[in-house]
Amino acid sequence: MKTILVTGGAGFIGSHLVRHWVKKYPDTKVVNLDKLTYAGNLENLKDVEDMPNYVFEKGDIVDCERVSGLFEKYRFDGVIHLAAESHVDRSISDPMEFIRTNIVGTVTLLNAARAAWNGDFAGKLFYHVSTDEVYGSLGDEGYFTETTRYDPRSPYSASKAASDHLVRAYHHTYGLPVVISNCSNNYGGYQFPEKLIPLVINNIRNRKPLPVYGKGLNVRDWLYVGDHVQAIDLIFHKGQVGETYNVGGHNEKRNIEIVKLLCLLVDRKLGRPQGDSETLITYVQDRAGHDLRYAIDSSKLVDRLGWNPSVTFEQGMERTVDWYLANEEWLRGVTSGDYLHYYTRQYGEK
């Protein structure tokens, strides 16, 4: 049985990936290492927590002893590294936490993999999941490609850029087998409601103001989380060692478009008058250093590995709104902090 380590597997993207892997690959043991910060929630994985090929380990990726101990215990064949501080606003107010987790944590994992594999890299892979924000900001035209010069503009994107460079450095210096993917904005169920889409859905339902930075003209490329998971699966199994792959949803939308579409969808699903929730839109002072536009060229992934998004933006948004409206208890739990007690209930520890 092969064994892989997924870091940050209780988070938004991580929980979707763990669920996918555990169910699709019953002959692979999936070890989920998560610190269980505010964005990590074991309730996201209740449907797989008792499956025989799934193991949860609580821990911090910056803890060298803990990480090395897991490599010794499980003898991992592969790592899919998702654990990261990821919210730009939080990085502006507390950059040191992003340096610690995203840079020091990544190096801790790289050192542990290098030591455990000890030059015997046959069948081994360190997969680092990153973001399109490392490339900086685009104007009205053009797309990020795998060769776009890095130009991070926030402490978050700078910390992810640094981690990307370190992963490549370990490949070139020590021969560590690595792949990197840089994805656009993900959306879907189980996303912590500090991010735009779940925040807006939750606020519409509770008739709270819908904050929009500046005039809402910033453009993002939106990727349905299920399609991202399929891309990670494909890159892990068929990607070329040492390569980088961009993963985009082919859905460029201005923030204000997203907010107005959510108003329309949620009002319709809740039986409210059309346009009712648009009155809640509140324009707030723009974020410091707010990048204007992100857009990804995924042609390398499409041409070389045959990946394409399977969900249209309209389908993905319908599914996402339906999920949050059907999971009000989950939303209430994460916004109140009650989800933090799940670990104690499940494992009997504090």
Q: What is the C-alpha to C-alpha distance for residues 42 and 99, in angstroms, rounded to an integer? A: 25
CA quadruple 300, 294, 241, 123: dihedral positive or negative? negative
Residue for token digits 């453009």? 219
DSSP 296-349: B--HHHHHHH-----S-HHHHHHHHHHHHHH-HHHHHHHHHTGGGGHHHHHHS-
Residue for token digits 């821990």? 59
Q: What is the C-alpha to C-alpha distance for residues 317 and 7, in angstroms, rounded to an integer? A: 27
Question: Which residues are tagged catalytic?
Answer: 132-133, 156
Q: What is the C-alpha to C-alpha distance for residues 168 and 178, in angstroms, rounded to an integer? A: 7
User: Which stretches of the chain are assigned E, i.e. beta strand?
Assistant: 2-7, 28-34, 54-58, 78-81, 125-131, 178-183, 185-187, 210-213, 219-224, 244-247, 252-254, 281-284
Residue 219 carries which DSSP code?
E
Q: What is the C-alpha to C-alpha distance for residues 324 and 329, in angstroms, rounded to an integer? A: 9
Q: What is the C-alpha to C-alpha distance for residues 249 and 274, in angstroms, rounded to an integer? A: 28
Residues 6 or more apart in contact with residue 206 via CB below 8 angstroms: none
Structure tokens, 19 = 């669920």
Q: Please give the torsion angle defined by the CA atoms of residues 89, 296, 246 and 80, in that order, rounded to the nearest 10 degrees.
A: 30
Q: What is the C-alpha to C-alpha distance for residues 3 and 24, in angstroms, rounded to an integer? A: 14
List, in sequence order, every residue forming a beta bridge with 210; answer none if it has no partner.
281
Q: What is the C-alpha to C-alpha distance for residues 54 and 29, in angstroms, rounded to an integer? A: 6
